[in-house]
Amino acid sequence: MHKLMLAAAALTGLMTALQAAAQFAKPEDAIKYRKAAFTVMGSHFGRIGAMVNGRVPFDAKAAETNIEIATTMSKLPYVAFIEGTDKGETRAKPEIWSEMDKFRTAASTMQDEMAKLNAATKTGNLDAIKAQFGKVGQSCKACHDNYRKE
């Protein structure tokens, strides 16, 4: 039974990835999709940043709403780094494709740090949120430094 459930879960994951890849009729569509996901992620992560930096008052409920969106968005962009999407309206560096394993590891680190920020946000403890917010920011920056053009 356990094995069957694992197989079903693996199949569901594979189907999701295939559907995501199949949804891009043209390379530009994949580029737009991943940029949109990063934009929305950055916007909602930034709203938490405003609280962390004291630019807006801390609101635990608003932080939770924002981290839920940022966490969901963090999972979306990477299926769109497909072959043929290194050209066009993109700042993606060619190293993404020549170092795909490293790129995926860096993406996965960001997703893990974001998930930890999600957990920290649910505690409602601003100090915990601040500490983890910094780690997510570092994981964003690591990818930007290596894989995003100026």
Helix axes 100-123, 126-147, angle to 10 degrees: 170
Among 34, 44, 47, 49, binds ligand ASC (CB under 6 A): 49
- Among the listed ranges 17-25, 42-50, 68-76, 110-118, the one in contact with ligand ASC (CB under 6 A) is 42-50
CB-wise, 24 or 67, nearer to ligand ASC?
A: 67
133 scored as a contact of ligand ASC (CB under 6 A): no
Q: Which residue matches tokens 């649910």?
A: 122
CB-wise, 39 or 125, nearer to ligand ASC?
A: 39
Q: Which residue matches tokens 């053009």?
A: 149
d(Cα 42, Cα 36) in Å, to the nearest integer? 10
124 scored as a contact of ligand ASC (CB under 6 A): no
d(Cα 89, Cα 19) in Å, to the nearest integer? 23
Residue 10 tokens, joined: 């693996």
- Among the listed ranges 57-65, 74-82, 105-113, 134-142, the one in contact with ligand ASC (CB under 6 A) is 134-142
How far apart are CB 137 and ligand ASC at their closest, in Å?
A: 4
Residue 48, phi then psi, degrees to nearest 5 = -70, -40
d(Cα 121, Cα 40) in Å, to the nearest integer? 18
Site of interaction with ligand ASC (CB under 6 A): 42, 45-46, 49, 137, 140-141
